[in-house]
Structure 1
Amino acid sequence: MAPPGRRRYGALTVVIALFCIFASTAHAASAVLGIDLGTSYLKGALVKPGIPLEIVLSKDSKRKEAAAVALKTPRTPLQAASATFPERAYGGDALALSARFPGDVYPNLKPLLGERLASSRAAAEYQQLHPAVEMVGVEGGRVGFRSPSFEADAAPFAVEELLAMELKNLRENAEEMAGGARITDAVITVPAFYTAAEKRAVELAAELAGLKVLALVSDGVAVGLNYATSRTFPSVSEGGKPEHHMVFDMGAGSTTATVLRFQGRTVKDVGRFNKTIQEVQVLGSAWDMYLGGDSLNELIIQDIIEQFVEKPEAKAASVKIEDVKKHGRTMAKLWKDVEKVRQVLSANQESSGSWEGLYQDVDFKYKISRARFEELAAEHAIRIAAPVNEALSAANLTFADLDSVILHGGAIRTPFVQKALEGLAGDASKLRSNVNADEAAVFGAAFKGAGLSPSFRVKEIRDSDTANYAVNMKYMWNLKERNQKLFSTTSRTGTVKEMPFKMLGDFEFTLSQDTGRDHEEPVLSVRTGNLTAVVTDLIDKEGCNRDDINTKFSIKLDPTTGLPEIVKAEASCEVDETEKKGGVVDGVKDFFGFGSKDGKQEPLKDGEEADETTETVEPETSSSSASSSSTSESAKASESAEAKIPKKKTVTSNIRFSTSREGFEKVSKEEMKRMKDRLAAFDASDRARIARETALNELEAYTYRSRDLLEEEGFVAASTEAQRTEIQAKLSEVSEWLYDDGSDADEKTLKAKHAELKALIVPIVTRRDESRKRPDAISDVKKALDQTQSMIKLIKENIDKAAEASSSAEAAASASSASASSSTPAAEASGEADPLADLEEEDTPSPSSAAEDAQATEQPAFLSPYTQADLDELNKAFDDASKWLDEKLAAQDKLTPTDDPAVSSKELERRAEDLNRISIELLQRKLRMPGAGSGKKSGSKKTNDKKSKKSKSKKDKKAEKAEKEKAAEETKDEKETPEHGEL
């Protein structure tokens, strides 16, 4: 029994609880979202059971969505504590608002991630291209924006907070596509040049959006994974030659070149089996962080402004280039349309655009040729070669070693870009468009997520990236700063390096990335917590020599982020190993010769037997023999001890340490809570706004439908003139209210107005509908009554027929009983008392049994499944329904069409259903009853049961007789067998 106060759970309860836990875990992990975080566009791909690698569509069914979020500016600025927040727009809807609300539209936020406002080139360029936005610093010096939709005391929006809104919108679209399943796991693409600060900013935005980042994968690796999913490469384990490809990715914000090696390899599988996997390995990466589609758009904008200020109208207004660039709405209009102008040039020789009131109400038309555009972008075309050559150099390869150049990114379609790549490759056939230039990266990210999730089983492709930035370690030693290089730019992720230190007291060091800029970017700060105590214990307790103690840290490049992390830290030394004295058990084993191999007792040889004689040996002989033996053994032991060399063993003790982020500091708990609370408030405000808009739309639609009802013939017939006049006045009042104050009314007020209208209209609509449905409902009840009456007649006939058959059967049974009783005395008189009579088979039935069989077979010829109670119940239901219908019809005949009905159509339907249900139940009872309508089957079954019982009784008697005979034979044999002593 379980102790008091404790509850002992059964095994079934535990199993069910575990099943629920694992089922919920599997459900939570059953969907993965791959996200291509682009500068201008966001793309998502969903992996879910039943949905393999499907692009997430936006609200307007587009396969990619502009990376922009906008806050619709309210009429009056909102206070910080307000429960109402501006409506948010995403994608194309957000960009459409840029001309009206340029200060509340935030496009292309990716370059600002992880940047410090004070020293960021990207932030300065963003402010120049989007002059209407107010850029401010937030906690940690990160970039933020102050929205004009809020008062000045409201906290600004961090870049990560705005990006989180976009990611959450993408996640909600994916969840809608997945049938409402919650999605929390994601793999996000990032450029190869992202530092620790930028990667951590992406992780922060994902966390605010409710996403758990399974991995950050570089764009080049993601494209390579997508390329490898449909291909099999030569196995290097079988002497195959790997393939080398370059992924040239030119997007809106940057350009990267990644050299990849694709190969197969045979590795160990389960048990003794092997398997062949595919490998995608980065050999080298290079980039241009500011060469992309946006920089090309900027060239066209600059040309537009220069031509615009030369117009006579602009000159007359003294318009200057700086004035136009600082005008928020003008720049927003240009940024919105200039990308289309550039994209047209990719397929045509000329492109044009026009703007009404571009600046100070001056209209402008612009035309540009491809030749002019290439002239403007001449310097950009020269920059294409640098990433390509640097990536090949890092991989120690040349263009001749490449099998192909895989093109990816939206700007790759620009003609002069492909022409420059052809010139570098020397062979146009090496440029391949064998992947989707827009979606390969997002598909690769989703595939990697499926491989990381336990819910999916996919083709095994192992990818490995490089550090891309050298990782250095800085620490103080002998009052001097030491700088130790740990990882190079081509070090593979997942690599672990052990770093020894000479320090024997607590110290700290910093890991940093060498980004090639003005200074190194710190990544991680590490401080030991108990090194001094560990060293003291090693000296005092383990006997270590202070000079022999080594301090060592294991540092790893995290394969999911590419950032360095501390795996473990330990201090160790070598000491002499001392043999431990044996205990009581070892002494007993030695005494019996089972311990040391040098013991006197030897195992028996094959074929020998142990001597079991118990002859007594003289004590003196025994004593002298034992003494001689011990002396010999001690001499051997001393010689062996002198010959042995002391063994060394390594003593290790773990070091406690703490780490803290450097560069992009971890956001404080207070700031994190504030951002999450504001995002939750935005969501609540959106839900409230949607509910209010729904109530408003329903009220407006109801007023329109109600006006139509006033002219409908059925509605007029069911209402009085006074009622219609009242409704008309109410409709006019509500319509006027909607156009005035109603447009800003809350959900509760709108629903109250809706309820007032319904209170006047619904009763009339109900009367109209009832007048239409009533004739058919009455007809159904009458049909049910007719069917019930027919059923009553049928049941009565069945009961009468069964009664007649029962009387006939009783008469036949009486005659049979009289015949059987007359033959029984004669049989008893002729019988003799036989002690073994019960062992004999009764082959011939007795007269009494024959009479029983005859009585069992002669049953009534007809059995009724119904009883008099069934008939009474049906009669009562029929009478009640008939009386109720007559009363209701009489009451209805006294009413006018404008009066509420005496009986509803639903009541009539229920009455008909009740009658039909009773009849159906009685009919089903007849079908279920075996032998209904005939008594033969029932009687024969009874006879068969009797016969089976008789047969069983006879078999039992036979078995009992055989056992008695066998026992008698055994008794006879025992009497004839003599005792053992008489032989």
Structure 2
Amino acid sequence: MRLRILFAFLSVLLCVKSALLAVDYGEEYTKAILIAPSVPLDVLLSADSKRKDVSGVSLTPVTGIRSDIQRSYGFHALSACIRNPSGCLTYVKPLLGKSPEDPAVDTFATVHPGVEIIPISARNSTGFRFQGTDFSVEEVVAMNFADIKRRALGKWNELSPNTYNVIDEIAISIPRYYTHSERRALIDAAEIAGLKVVALVDDGVSAAISYAQHREFSEEKQYHLIYDMGAGSTKATLISLSTVNDTLSLAVEGYGYDRSLGGHNFTAAIKEILVEKFLAQNIKISREEFTADARAMNKLWQAADKAKLVLSANTLTRVSSDNLYAERDFRCAVKRTEFEQRISEQIDSCSDPLETALGNFDLSKLQSVILAGGSTRVPAVQRRLTSYLGDAEKISRNINADEAVVFGLAMRGANLAGYKRRLIIDVLDRVEFEYSIASSETSNREVVIPSAAPVVGQLVHHNFTETAGKLDVILYEDENPFRSYSFDSALTLETCPDGLNYSGDFAVSKSGIVHLKSVRSLCYKEGSPVTTSKLSGNADFWGFKPLTQKQVKESVDRLSILDKHDEERIHREGIINSLEASLYEMRAYIEEEQVIQKGPEALVKKARKLVDELLSWLDENSLKSTSKEIQKKLDKIRHHKKRLDTYVQTPDEFLTLDKFIQLSNDSTTLMHELQDFMVTMSEDAMEMKESYDEFNLNFDETNAKLKLDKKEETETELKEVVEHINEFANIVKKLEEDPDQIKSKSRVELIDLREASLSAVEKLKSQMETLRTVHDLRIGYLRNQLRLAQKARVKKAMKEKAKRKEAEKEEAKKLEAKKEEAKKVEELTESQTLSSTPIESSTSTQQSHDEL
């Protein structure tokens, strides 16, 4: 039994498959790819079959049997934002790892009027309050990740239904300029969603991998620049590509960025144009009251975003919004020229990141500027880049600007996670910031890792200038302290007369997170280190504080409750939709001519009344009712529909005397089969009892110990069914004796008679099946117990036999020992007799006899 259980467990383990999610989490849109067995490598479609989804979630209050929150994702979230602006938690990425005083919070508030932003003082972080419930930014992002995970798992289960599939790892694209706090916050969000972060990968590197994977390179370096303008920022990454020892090598050579320049600037500019045009058409409405309307501002933002896309391909677009504000419709046209005039300052600064990334690089060696990110489609942006480069031929559009990052991320994430891939790319990655340390905020800092150092995924060794006593370390990211360490050492200059130094190892993770991994003290005596000991200490965060493990668990529990409520609500809404559909179907059905003709008038009338009652109930009480209550109503209407179907669809040929006779004979035959089987059950039981008696075992006691989940049919229930069948047989017999009686019965009466008989037959079949199952289980159990008793008896007999043999053996040993001892005494006597004198012989013999 144990071996079978172990084999079954191992079989399940062998069928378990895990996978990796690659998520390009953009400020405005998110793209994802699932890397898993049996799943094609392609972008995961959204709930409405789009290749990208809106980043964020919309919360909507749900009224009903309890206060609840409904979450909408993707493009459905945008629609919900218009209806309920206070729950519009889209585009929250800029708030990750930010304090309440950060300018990004004010920018978010401008784009999301109506959202209540709250400070989380204990962590120096930002959150949201909706319907009295607080959510951290990490929890909102985790909702997005969890939604992507659910959709990916659903797709995988469809393609591989016979395995237990698990998605537990994720690789996420980020801008290189992300700080330690932002990276930590993103990792916390993934952990809340039940995903382990394999790595946070620079989106410029990801786009470069996507560009390089289908091309060949020589040993000589090729230089390209990835220019990525997304919704919230612009990045320029100078990379080199070459092939060394059949391995593609990618190195980051330069980097520049603008955190505040992106597509949202362009959308905001068009939105401002639309505000001005609306106010010009409605001069009695003030700017203050119009811009204070969160619903109107959300509608205008979405209209402006669509207009921006159209103006990338056309010189004119028309904007239309019904009931925009104060029951006023809005219509206007926006020209590309007025749009470009409004964003002229932003366009002038488009080349700044590119200039920073290139530095003193010789432009003649630059082979191409590869455009990535949706905002690079704006014609004014492309013109500015061409003007800066002085050569339009260098502008390259040979990658998918929207999906290059996520495909490159999938390759990089798979390599870092240890997945076997045909193409291995050796990436030389760099940190963006300078990392330094100091013993206090006022002391001088020592550079540990210089800016742009190629140390991602490595350890950096450092010797501290502190020479004695307690070691305090503050770790800086550029000018900003973000973590502190305190180490105690028992060593002093007295115990180490020739010097006491400290050394440490700083780890740079694959995600670019820097931390002090270990510290050692070196004690010098007579000029040489004689004692080396690893120190233990305390670490703390400065400024923004990541979530603790306890806080992560609390977030997981809170979102699990929301997930459960979502499942319940979706199930409940499904039942409501089914009930509504069934009611309207029933209303149409009872008006059909064949139903009116063949259905019992009372039943049709009752069904019509039930439909009216339930439709009224649905309008007034469905929101306050439980799923169980709604399901009960649905079952009721379905039961009535089924009853009516019976009267309408039963063919007349089933209602003849011959058919009734056949049905009576079949039911009687079935009843006889039941009687025969019950005799067999009794015989089997008697035979089993005899076997038990043969071995002097208590049959009744063993039989009573068996507890079955299946309900055994009682004699009363069987008797009722048999009485129904006998009653039907008597009715049929009377019809045979007087065939004219069947003509006097209505169609409804005949159908009722037939259905009653069929129902009794079905019950009898069910009872017989239950009896067979119970009987087989009982006999099997009794046989097994008998075999066990037989084995136990044989084992006991063998044990007793072995015990007897052992006792006989022991007795034989004792007897043999007595014989040996007697023999020794006899030999001793003989030796004494031979060695004694004749005079003493008599005395010695007497003494020996006395001793014996």
TM-score band by shorter chain is 0.7 to 0.9
How many residues in Structure 1 have an aligned counterpart in Structure 2?
685
Matched residue, 1:474: 438
CA contact (8 A) 2:506 2:518 kept: yes
**Aligned residue in 2 for 1:353:** 319
Identity %: 29
Amino acid at match of 1:55: V
Tell me the CA shift for residue 353 of structure 1. 1.4
**Local SS of the residue matching 1:280:** strand
For the Cα contact (< 8 Å) 1:891–1:902, is it kept in 2?
no
CA distances 1:165-192 after superposition (whole Å, capped 9, x unpaired): 2222222111111126332211111112
Q: Deviations over 1:55-100 (max 9, x none)?
A: 1111110001112321223469xxxxx9542211122212123332
On the 8 A contact 1:574/1:651 being kept in 2, the answer is yes
Report matched runs for 1:377-416 at 5 Å: 377-393=343-359, 397-416=361-380
**Counterpart pick for 1:304 among 250, 261, 274:** 274
d(CA) in 1 for partners of 2:12 and 2:584? Answer: 52
Measured in 2, the distance between the counterparts of 1:388 and 1:174 equals 36
Q: CA deviation at 1:157?
A: 2.2
The secondary structure found in structure 2 opposite 1:260 is: strand
Which residue matches 2:286? 319
After TM superposition, the structure 1 = structure 2 runs for residues 240-639 of structure 1, keeping only pairs within 5 Å, are: 240-266=219-245, 276-311=246-281, 313-314=282-283, 317=284, 319-320=286-287, 322-393=288-359, 397-476=361-440, 481-492=443-454, 493-501=456-464, 502-514=466-478, 520-529=479-488, 531-532=489-490, 545-558=496-509, 560-572=510-522
Within the alignment, does 1:654 sit opposite 2:534 as a pair?
yes
Aligned twin of 2:779: none
Counterpart AA for 1:422: T
Q: Does the Cα contact within 8 Å between 1:112 and 1:123 map onto a contact in 2?
A: yes
The residue number in structure 1 matching 2:34 is 46
- Is residue 504–residue 532 contact of structure 1 (8 Å, CA) maintained in 2? no
Match for residue 132 of structure 1 among 114, 122, 125 = 114
SS, match of residue 41 in structure 2: strand
User: Do the aligned partners of 1:56 and 1:174 also contact (CA within 8 Å) in 2?
Assistant: yes
Contact 1:353 1:366 in 2 (8 A): yes
Structure 2: where are the runs of 5+ without partners? 159-164, 667-725, 737-741, 743-748, 769-852
Q: Is the 8 A contact 2:124 2:543 kept in 1?
A: no
Cα contact 1:85–1:681 (8 A) shared by 2:
no
Query: What is the deviation of 1:335?
Result: 0.5
- Give the stretch that moved more between structures: 339-348 or 748-757: 748-757
Q: Structure 1 residues 13, 297: closer, same or farther in 2, change over 3 A? A: same
Partner of 1:835: none
Q: How big is each residue's C-alpha offset from its partner over 1:958-978, in whole Å with a ceiling of 9 and x where there is no partner?
A: xxxxxxxxxxxxxxxxxxxxx
Counterparts of 1:172-211 in structure 2, within 5 Å, are 172-179=150-157, 181-211=165-195
CA displacement 1:586-617 (0-9 Å, x = unmatched)? xxxxxxxxxxxxxxxxxxxxxxxxxxxxxxxx
Query: Is contact 1:83-1:685 (8 Å) kept?
Result: no
- Return the offset for 1:371: 2.3
1:304-323 C-alpha deviation (Å, 9 max, x unpaired): 33344344x31xx2623x44
Q: Distance in 2 between matches of 1:375 and 1:262?
A: 38
Do residues 165 (structure 1) and 143 (structure 2) align? yes
SS class of match (1:486): strand
Query: Partner of 1:727: helix, strand, or coil?
Result: helix
Contact persistence 1:200–1:664 (CA under 8 A): no
What SS is found at the alignment partner of 1:56? coil
In 2: Cα distance, 1:437 partner to 1:665 partner: 35
The structural deviation recorded for 1:649 is: 8.2
Contact 1:407 1:432 in 2 (8 A): yes
Q: Provide the C-alpha distance between the structure 1 equivalents of 2:363 and 2:653, rounded to a whole number of angstroms.
A: 83
After superposition, the C-alpha distances for 1:185-243 in whole angstroms (9 at most, x for unaligned) are: 11111112111111112112222222221111111011112122222322xxxxx2111
C-alpha displacement of 1:490: 0.9
User: For residues 654 and 424 of structure 2, what CA distance do their matches in structure 1 show?
Assistant: 69
Question: Are the counterparts in 1 of residues 22 and 171 from structure 2 also a CA contact under 8 Å?
Answer: yes
CA 547–182 in structure 1, closer or farther in 2 if over 3 Å, else same: same
Could you tell me how far apart the structure 2 residues matched to 1:889 and 1:229 are?
82
- CA gap 1:260/1:888 in 2 versus in 1, 3 angstroms: farther
Structure 1 partner of 2:790: none
Which residue is equivalent to 2:605? 725
Residue 897 (1) aligns with residue 847 (2): no
Alignment of 1:206-225 (within 5 A): 206-225=190-209
RMSD of aligned alpha carbons: 3.6
In the TM superposition, what is the alpha-carbon distance from 1:547 to its structure 2 partner?
Answer: 1.9
Equivalent residue number for residue 839 of structure 2: none
**Structure 1: which amino acid aligns with 2:337?**
A
Check the 8 A contact 2:319/2:333 in 1, yes or no: yes
Cα 1:368–1:728 shift into 2, 3 Å: closer
TM-score (norm: length of structure 2):
0.73
Pick one of 91, 94, 99 that aligns with 2:77: 94
Aligned amino acid, residue 263 of structure 1: S
Structure-2 separation of matches of 1:549 and 1:670 = 38
Contact kept? 2:487, 2:536, Cα under 8 Å = yes
TM-score, normalised to structure 1, is 0.64
For 1:468 and 1:354, the matched residues in 2 are separated by 45
Offset, 1:527: 1.8
Counterpart CA distance in 2 for 1:360 and 1:343 is 28
Seen in structure 2, the aligned counterparts of structure 1 residues 412 and 772 have a Cα distance that, compared at 3 Å, is farther
Residues 247 and 405, structure 1, Cα contact 8 Å, conserved in 2: yes
Letter in 1 for 2:275: I
- Alignment pair present for 1:73 and 2:61: yes
> Which protein has the larger Cα radius of gyration, Structure 1 or Structure 2?
1
Q: Report the Cα distance in structure 2 between the residues aligned to 1:884 and 1:198, rounded to whole angstroms.
A: 80
Equivalence map 1:859-878=2 (5 Å): none
Displacement after TM superposition at 1:507 (Å) = 1.7
Shift of 1:35: 0.7
Where 2:98 maps in the other structure, the secondary structure is coil
Q: Please give the alpha-carbon distance, in whole angstroms, between the structure 1 residues aligned to 2:241 and 2:91.
A: 33
Cα pair distance change 1:769/1:568, threshold 3 Å: same
Q: 1:660 to 1:892 in 2, by over 3 A?
A: farther
Structure 2 CA distance for aligned equivalents of residues 551 and 489 of structure 1:
24
Q: How does 1:518-917 map to 2 (within 5 A)?
A: 520-529=479-488, 531-532=489-490, 545-558=496-509, 560-572=510-522, 651-668=531-548, 671-711=551-591, 719-742=599-622, 744-766=624-646, 771=651, 896-901=750-755, 903-904=757-758
- Opposite residue 496 of structure 1, the aligned amino acid is L
Pairwise CA distance, 1:385: 1.9
Change (3 A) 1:673 1:85: farther
**SS at 2:439 equivalent:** strand
Match of residue 675 from structure 2: none
Answer yes or no: is the 8 Å Cα contact 2:655–2:750 preserved in 1: no
What is the distance in 2 between the residues matched to 1:18 and 1:663? 48
In structure 2, the residue corresponding to 1:561 is in which secondary structure? Answer: coil
Distance 1:528 1:773 in 2: 96
Bigger shift: residues 159-168 or 351-360: 351-360
The Cα offsets for residues 867-903 of structure 1, whole Å up to 9 and x where unpaired, read as xxxxxxxxxxxxxxxx999999768976713324365
Shift of 1:261: 1.6
